[in-house]
Amino acid sequence: VWTSYAHIASWGILLARTSDEGAPQNGISYFICPMKTPGIDIRPIVDMTGDHAFNEVFFDEVRIPADHLIGDVNEGWRLAKVTLGNERVSLSGEGALWGRGPSANDLVNLAKGESLTALQRESLVKCWSHGEILRLLRIRTLSAVLAGREPGPEASVRKALADDHGQEIMGLAVEFAGVGAMDSSVGPFGLTGSEAQTWRHGFLYAQALTIGGGTSVVQRNIIAERVLQLPKELSV
């Protein structure tokens, strides 16, 4: 479930169990699967913005050639982690919504010339500062990838911080809209029309940031165990 753009994708990633020996993660292989293969059923999920990006995907007696295997048999868990790491790097643009959409700089530019309280100014400065920290972290992460290194747990650090930051930006935008936020046609500082719609859509979409692409809880577990070397979470 939650397969992004499965309805328009030509290929999908399929992790399949190919061995039951050893640790559970050691018996997984990584395949690519043509999405037009007979037996694949794709059902849309419409989110609260009204968009259709996610899907449920069902496999019913689906068969694919053995040469669709990527890497070695039973090496799928490592490749899946590399894939997720690269995905987290790809979501690291300046925009609040996984690299897209408005940014903290956009909000600052809207606020110029507006009458803000001291608390609002402080919140806006903190938001902009968080954006600058993430920009520098993004440069460091991208530089490592361009140098040929696999994305490590540092990608989880940036994603966890960026997801919170995206919600911070959109939360401030709603605050700056005031009571006008109750009107779907009004944005921050009285914006109207398509610009207001961009911010409204962003606020609704931002609620998914700490869930999609690996939840914030998962990211923090990765950071705790692989960066800070804390004890592993107890298995129940």
Domain 11-74 identical in fold to domain 81-227: no
Q: What percent of the chain has pLDDT over 90?
A: 62
Cα separation, 197 vs 60, whole angstroms: 40
Domain locations in the chain?
11-74, 81-227
| SS3 at position 209 | coil
Cα separation, 225 vs 195, whole angstroms: 42
pLDDT in tens, 15-68: 999 999 988 889 999 999 999 999 999 999 999 999 999 999 999 999 999 999
Element (H, E) at 57: strand 52-59
Nearest CA-CA partner of 158 in 83, 230, 227: 227
| SS3 at position 52 | strand
Cα separation, 158 vs 140, whole angstroms: 10
CA quadruple 179, 181, 186, 187: dihedral positive or negative?
Answer: positive
| CATH superfamily of this structure's domain 81-227 | Butyryl-CoA Dehydrogenase, subunit A, domain 3 (1.20.140.10)
Residue labelled with tokens 């129940």:
236
pLDDT in tens, 198-224: 999 999 999 999 998 889 999 999 899
Amino acid code (one letter) for 219: Q
pLDDT in tens, 122-178: 999 999 999 999 999 888 888 888 898 887 788 888 889 999 999 999 999 999 998
Please give the structure tokens belonging to residue 102. Answer: 């408005």
Residue 46 CB partners (closer than 8 Å, separation 6+)? 52
- Annotated catalytic residues are 87
pLDDT at 236 over 70: no
Please give the structure tokens belonging to residue 46. Answer: 């419409």
Q: What is the DSSP letter of 227?
A: I
Cα separation, 162 vs 134, whole angstroms: 7
Residue 154 CB partners (closer than 8 Å, separation 6+)? 137, 140, 141, 144, 227
Please give the structure tokens belonging to residue 208. Answer: 């998914």
What is the fold, at CATH topology level, of the domain defined by 11-74? Butyryl-CoA Dehydrogenase, subunit A; domain 2 (2.40.110)
For residue 51, the tally of other CB atoms under 10 A from its CB is 12
